[in-house]
Structure formats: structure tokens, C-alpha cells
Amino acid sequence: MNFISTRGGEAVSAAEAIVRGMAEGGGLFVPETIPAVSEGELEEMLGMNYPERAAFILGKYFGEFPQEELLSEAEKAYARFEGEDAAPLVKIEDGLFLLELFHGPTCAFKDMALSLLPYLLRKSCELLGIKEQILILAATSGDTGKAALEAFADAERVKVAVFYPEEGVSKMQKLQMTTQDGGNVDAVGVKGNFDDCQSAVKKIFRSRECRDKLKERGVILSSANSINIGRLVPQIAYYFSAYCDLVTSGQIAAGDLADFAVPTGNFGNILAGYYAKQMGLPVGTLVCASNRNNVLTDFFRKGTYDKKRTFYRTMSPSMDILVSSNLERLLFEISGRDSALTVERMKALANAGRYSIRAEELKALSQTFFAGYASEEDTVECVYEFFEEFNYPLDTHTGVAMHVARTYCRKRAEDVNAEPRPMVVVSTASPYKFPQAVYYALTGNDVKDSFKGIKRIHLITAMKVPESLKALRYKLPRFKTVIPSDKIFEEVLNFVG
């Protein structure tokens, strides 16, 4: 299968799309045609384990990669996860489920894709005959950065530089990044928010001058953000896997619809669910859950995306985003794959800070998406009440999703014609990754030290503490650089040497 840009241009192979990360002119790669999964194939997936399901979905998009290699690499990647299942579906009560995506090396859902990206990138370079060094450049709101650093640490002919908002990640997220081992990694704090980091990194990808300067040093740019199709496709797999688990556990019959609620920032996670639905997975509604930075909620309700608004730092920092990059892919799809219109809208966003979609497009979106948001108070209340009711501690991002999911379910229950459907809330991080916020939500008390927070949450909940987070207590930060966002490329050049 070939891939095309949301902003027009020639089609490229999967390998080239993965290596380049971002298309010429700032566009994002999408499949030339969205592959289908038949009813028979979905039935076959019921008997597969998670690596087999992941390899099957990857093979639908990356046909030039040997299927046996995809399976072998998926097995190796997910063997690093705690527990027997990389993405277990947990039943909370009749009709409500949590899809736990935090059992990987960095305790967040980004591991589901980034654990496979080193192989995809290595194989892509092999297929294309690339001998140069690859520089993985990533902006992060906290989770992608650590997952990328961990996945590529000490990888041959690869360097990884991540840029995070110095004051916009949790203490645990910052500690995970700044203590990372590996001679080929760099983690840099940026004065500003995630959007500042993302804009600066995207500018480097779009700049021929920047790419030429790196090429002079024998370096080719690639991305670990979800703008890279190699990051996005592996995420589609866990929607299929969750649905298969609903069927095999007798919760639904094959073909019945299921809803998914997703805590959403950069729109990659929920977009994977959209692609799963387009492939034929019986998805009912995708619930787009935002925190106080509710730009997406307004977009889905009114049809106008307006980034010119107050930016808030919240207790769900990985969602503190006002420019959701992956929404461009959805715009491309709902416009009838109109690249010229997509370019026009992205220019309007860059120049005026806003754009609007047509009434018929907004109506089409309403057939698949429901959008809502949770205030800080809503999030605290949801995490507290959920633990009181089910003895299950949610992290604050999943708390946002659970609050909006319940809002959607109440609204749906008011419709006498609506048939019951299971709700799967996508749980994106371990509560121990945000111990201070979670401890406050559970008790109303503050704790300044992250590790004291972990200990106190464990005493309250008895939930197992991930070994990778325990180990951080005894590690000292290696990376202490903090820079303005306009100095990111200078830091990149210093890093590559």
C-alpha cells in the first residue's frame, strides 16, 4: 500500500512515509485507501493473542514488511509489558469496561506503538537502502517523550531528541525523561507549553534549510510523534483487540456495536479508533474527552476550530494541547479527501488561528463522534467517586474520559429508541505516573514528593506499583537543559554534533 499527504503530492511507500514522518509541505501521510477487515477476518482475530492481532492490522497497512517479521517483532515488543496481556480489557460492571494501555515500560499508552517503531524504522531504512544516521525529533506533553527515549535508547544509527514544556509535565514524567539511560538520547525542557514545542518541531520538519543542514552532517529527520504513520497504525490494533475481547468474553455478539471513550489531546489515539471503524470494526460512537483545554469539544459541537483561547495547565497535562495535529487527517477524510481544502484550512489556522467546516461535514462527524470535557473539579470528583464505588484508581486523564463517558451514557439513556451498547473507556496511564494529582483526587490532601505520593496511593488502593517507576527513586537526572522554543534547532545541531 502507498501513502499520500493530506496536503497533496505524490504517493510514497510505507517505508518512506515512516522514515520521513511528515510529508512535504507539512502534510500528514494517510493510506491511499483505507484497508478493510472482513467479518471472516474479524472472526479469525477472536482466537489470536495481542501480538498476533497487532501484526495482522500492521500487515493491512505495511504490506511490504514480511508478515512473519511483523509477528516476531510484535511478540518481542509486547513481551516487555507487565502481565500476560499487553492490552487487557477489564470489566467494571455490566456495560462498562476499561481498556488498560499502561502496562508497558513507561506506564502509558504510547508504549503500545513506540515499542514497535524501532523495528518499523529500521526495516524501512533497510528497504530504502538508507545508510545515514536517523534523528528522531519529538515534541511531547510528557508521555511520548519517555516512550520514544526508552524505545530507541542505544539503537544503532539513531539519535533521539525530545522537547517538553518545562512547567507543563508532571514531576514523574519529567523524572522519567531526564533520567533516561542511553548514549544517543537527549531530553530538553522548553520555556512555554506543548503547542510551542510542537510548532517549533514542525517548523524544522517543514524547513528545507534545516533538513539540508542536518543532511550535511549525515543525518535524516524522522518523528516519533503520532504525526508519523508508523506511530498511528499500531494504535488501531488495540481497538480491534478490545472488541474481540468483548466478543470472546460473551459480553456482545460479533457484529454488535461498541462505544469507546478516549482522553484526547493531539487526537492520535481517538483517530486510530476512527480508522478502525472505517476498516469495518463495529464501532458505535467515539467519545472525544477533553480537559479544561476544550478546543476539540467546541469544534465537534460548533464546527469551528479556534486555537486563540486561554491555555490552562491542568492535572491531566498530557492533554494540555490547543493545536491537535492529527485532526488534520480527520479533516482530510471528511472533506472527501480534498487536499486543497485541507491546505486552505491549515493556512487559516496558522494565519488567523481558526477555521470552520461545512454544515454537512459537521453533521457527518456527529454520526461518529460525541465530544465533552471535564473541569478540574469534575476530574477530581470522578476519580474519587469511581474509587469509592469500584475500588479502582483511575489516573487523571482516564478520569476525564470516564466523566465524559458517563455524560454521554446518561444522554444516550434518555433516548428511548437507543439500544444498550457497551462502553469501553480507554485508560491511557497508570495512576502512579501522576501520583500527586491522583492522591489529591482520592484524599483531598497534597503531597509534594512524587514517591511519597506513590507510597500513599499504594497504601490506599493496594494496586501494584510498576517496577519502572519504583526504580526512578534512585536515579539522578542526566538532562537539565532548558531553552526558549526558538532555540530548539540550535539545540538539535549541538546534539547531533
338 CB contacts (<8 Å, ≥6 apart)?
A: 332
- 110 catalytic per annotation: yes
Question: Phi, psi (5° rounding) for residue 283?
Answer: -95, 130
Give residue 21's region: left, alpha or beta (phi > 0; psi -120 to 50): left
Amino acid code (one letter) for 371: A
Please enumerate, as own/partner, the contacts of 405-412 that have beta carbons within 8 Å and a separation of 24 or more.
405/259, 405/261, 405/287, 405/289, 406/382, 407/372, 408/259, 408/261, 408/285, 408/287, 408/370, 408/372, 411/370
Helix axes 194-206, 488-496, angle to 10 degrees: 60
Residue 177 contacts residue 201 (beta carbons within 8 Å): no
32 CB contacts (<8 Å, ≥6 apart)?
A: 1, 2, 3, 4, 11
Residue 386 contacts residue 394 (beta carbons within 8 Å): yes
Longest dimension (CA), the chain: 65
| DSSP annotation string for 449-466 | SHHHHHHHHHHHH-PPPP
What's the rounded Cα separation, in Å, for the pair 326 and 139?
14
Amino acid code (one letter) for 226: S
Catalytic-role residue among 60, 76, 91, 110: 110
What's the rounded Cα separation, in Å, for the pair 186 and 175?
13
Closest CA to 375 of 327, 443, 441: 441
Cβ neighbourhood burial of 75 (10 Å; 0-12, 13-18, 19+): middle
- The CB density around residue 218, as the number of other CB atoms within 10 Å, is 11
Element of type H or E holding 304: strand 304-306
Give residue 280's region: left, alpha or beta (phi > 0; psi -120 to 50): left
Q: Which residues participate in catalysis according to the annotation?
A: 110
